[in-house]
Structure 1
Amino acid sequence: MTDLTDLTAASAEEFWDDRYRDSDRMWSGEPNASLVRETAGLTPGSALDLGCGEGGDAIWLARQGWRVTATDVSRVALDRAAGHAGRAGVAERIDWQRHDLATSFPAGSFDLVSAHFLHSLVEMPREQILRNAAGAVAPGGVLLVVGHEGFRSWEPGPHPEVHFPTPREVLASLALAAGAWDVLVSDTYEHHLTAPDGQPSVRTNNTLAVRRRAV
């Protein structure tokens, strides 16, 4: 298991493979509420899911009729996700690809590019990855970026070196061409959850959605 006190000793692949091996399931398997909310009304086409984890978002998109390319740095997560997709009956609609997004990126253009909670305690060039994500959006397509505003309230010793950008900061960092994009959503939403001690808690998430104007 990777020691969180020595994150520099692990590659991104090693770190996340170890995290996923710690349990049979890390995530709920349900799609992110922000994905469901922000894609309502979109016509299903091709979608790219960055940092897909165990496949909850990709599987939900496939069930809605999208053709999905789903990528993660962890082979453990991808193998698990592929198993879930098979049991859900949507395996043929999802292409699972392993990428360390710091060094490689899926080819092609997509009607929807989704990056949910693309955070890591291992060094990751997030801004460059999101600029690559914007570059992968087809004319008329949407880029959806959702991130945390901060650590969960009960987490001991948050890492001060980790910055959670606001929607405005994310938009600025994308360096989108003037006149080529429309901002659909730039907002924060509260997510209600339960702390390990059973007490209710709230975590705020940031959401940015932009559409590339059709040529």
Structure 2
Amino acid sequence: MHEVSDLAPGRALDLGCGEGADAVWLARRGWTVTGTDISGVALGRAAEHAAEAGVGDRVSFARHDLTESFPQGEFDLVSACFLHNYGDFPRDAVLRTAASAVAPGGTLLVVGHAGWAPWQEDREEAHFPTPAEVLAQLEPVTAGWEVLRAEETERIQNQPDGTPGTRTDNVVRVRRPA
């Protein structure tokens, strides 16, 4: 979440929040966060993590299948980190809906893997969109928005054997005009 560490806290929406690590990180920095996931088990764990971190009053969690329902409201930050489209998941449509939820002057952050990690052996059929493809998928909702970042980036991630390995991700960060 270092991608948004320079933003003033406001209302944030964390799509596909899983067990809530990013939601807790944002709440610790003063954000009021709504975290969503399709997994009720993950959301239960996320609520526990938020309570343990002392930010349970700044975070709410809601179960959504983003292909069928979406949180209401406008947000200063909408984050979709590692929300991949395995199978028939219409990621591009979900991201356009996410962009529509960004308040004027707000930010949309989309982070995803650029491909399978070199150490992953069992690889499902999947397409990992490039930053340019993500920007194209967001059109026309984001027409006229400022592109703050659209690039590949490398990071270190532990491999299954515990040794560090390099992983390539795509980062797209756009800001809606005020």
TM-score normalised to the size of structure 2?
0.95
Greater helix content: 1
State the distance in 2 between where 1:103 and 1:193 align: 33
State the distance in 2 between where 1:40 and 1:205 align: 18
Q: Unpaired segments of 5 or more residues in structure 2?
A: none
* 1:169 and 2:169 are equivalent in the alignment: no
46, 53, 60: which one pairs with 1:81?
A: 46
Q: Does the 8 A contact of 2:99 with 2:142 survive in 1? A: no
CA shift for structure 1 position 41: 1.9
Q: Which secondary structure state, in structure 2, belongs to the residue aligned with residue 77 of structure 1?
A: helix
State the distance in 2 between where 1:197 and 1:45 align: 39
* 1:42 and 2:7 are equivalent in the alignment: yes
- In structure 1, the partner of 2:24 is 59
State the distance in 1 between where 2:33 and 2:142 align: 29
* 1:208 and 2:172 are equivalent in the alignment: yes
- In structure 2, the partner of 1:138 is 103
State the distance in 1 between where 2:7 and 2:142 align: 24
Identity %: 57
Q: Which secondary structure state, in structure 1, belongs to the residue aligned with residue 116 of structure 2?
A: coil
- In structure 1, the partner of 2:35 is 70
Cα distance 1:140–1:172, how it changes in 2: closer, same or farther (>3 A)?
same
Q: Spell out structure 1 runs of 4+ moving beyond 6 A.
A: none
State the distance in 2 between where 1:73 and 1:81 align: 12
- In structure 2, the partner of 1:30 is none
- In structure 1, the partner of 2:150 is 186
State the distance in 2 between where 1:191 and 1:207 align: 12
* 1:97 and 2:97 are equivalent in the alignment: no
| RMSD of aligned residue pairs (Cα, Å) | 1.4
Instruction: Point out the more displaced range, 103-112 or 169-178.
Output: 169-178
Highest Rg: 1 or 2?
Answer: 1
Q: How many residues align?
A: 178
Q: Which secondary structure state, in structure 2, belongs to the residue aligned with residue 171 of structure 1?
A: helix
Instruction: Point out the more displaced range, 61-70 or 189-198.
Output: 189-198
Q: Unpaired segments of 5 or more residues in structure 1?
A: 1-34
Q: Does the 8 A contact of 2:100 with 2:141 survive in 1? A: no
TM-score normalised to the size of structure 1?
0.79
Greater strand content: 2
